[in-house]
Structure 1
Amino acid sequence: MKKRTAKSPLSRLMTLALFCLLAMGACKSKKKVTEAAPEPQPVEEPAPAPAPAQPSAEEEAVSKLENYFNSIANSSNVNSANSSIQEALSMFANQQTPVLIVIYEENGMKDYDEPTTIEKYLNYLKDTKKNLNFISDVRVDNNGRVTELELRRRR
């Protein structure tokens, strides 16, 4: 039998270094694999739909006034027409608020019928029982009261 000779310390050191390199290399490759895998992104919920825009004071006034005009013109009796007139007048700065009715327009120039007041116009609707005009422009003050009204003939 042969007798084993002691390995040189250099050989042992090289073997140990080789194992360390292999161990470190294995750790780095696992690290790279785990780093390369993308992290799951949190699912974003879709943004809620924007709330519908609130109508401006002018748009709101036009809507209400059109309803009052139709209500007055289509009222079945004088008392209901008068109560609708009083409700409509509460939307105006005063009973003498001007109402302008456009009878002709060309190149931005408008011709108006004889100016009237809102009180006279509402009574005209009550008497004729016809709402032949629509609101084309309305001016509102800071308090939300109508200060001027422009109408046009329906076609």
Structure 2
Amino acid sequence: MKQKFFSISVNRSLMIALVAMLAMGACKSKKKAVQQPAPPVPVEQVQEATPTPAPVSSGEEVAAEKLENYFNSVAAAGNVTIANQTIQEALRMFSNQETPVLIVIHEENGIKDYDEPTTIAKYLEYLKDTKKNLNYISDIRMDANGKVSELELRRK
């Protein structure tokens, strides 16, 4: 019985030693792999393309963007004084305070239904009172002087 126990423990010891040597050998090969620098990657020569000019915004696009900012500022103004100052700045972009503002409430087959027409002065006051800008600019018309002569809005 003692001989059997001895042979089992020897077999077990040899197995443990073999596993330990394999583990140590694997660690060393991993270290070598990590320590070796990666082979250089070939770099392709890229010809620099001629820079394309930035798209030029039309006067209408610039005006629409400024007006959207004014509308949001009036609606978000902290007090009446700030809102009134912003309204005065925005009105300078229009040909006059009676510039028509049309709000599209429905469109089907190219036929538009508008809410009751208003003026830019009244619309800005409406934004100040409600503190909500629920519309976006869908069409803007400019006069020869670069001032807004008509504005068409839609629901967001």
- The reply to whether TM is greater than 0.5 is yes
Q: Which residue of 2 aligns with 1:97?
A: 99
SS at match of 2:51: coil
Task: Compute the displacement of 1:54 (Å).
Answer: 1.5
Aligned with residue 53 of structure 2, among 47, 51, 54: 51
Q: Which residue of 1 aligns with 2:75?
A: 73
Structure 1 gaps of 5+ residues are 1-44
The structure with the larger Rg is 1
Aligned with residue 90 of structure 2, among 88, 91, 95: 88
Which string of whole-angstrom CA distances, capped at 9 and with x for unpartnered residues, describes residues 12-62 of structure 1? xxxxxxxxxxxxxxxxxxxxxxxxxxxxxxxxx745212102200110011
Q: Mean Cα displacement is larger for which, 140-149 or 124-133?
A: 140-149
SS at match of 2:153: strand
Instruction: Give the number of the structure whose residues are more often helix, by fraction.
Output: 2
Say if 2:38 is the partner of 1:61. Answer: no
**TM-score, normalised by the number of residues in structure 2:** 0.68
Which string of whole-angstrom CA distances, capped at 9 and with x for unpartnered residues, describes residues 72-116 of structure 1? 000000000000000000000000000000000000000000000
Structure 2 gaps of 5+ residues are 1-46
Q: CA RMSD in A?
A: 1.0
- How many pairs align? 110
Percent identical? 67
SS at match of 1:87: helix
Q: Which residue of 2 aligns with 1:31?
A: none
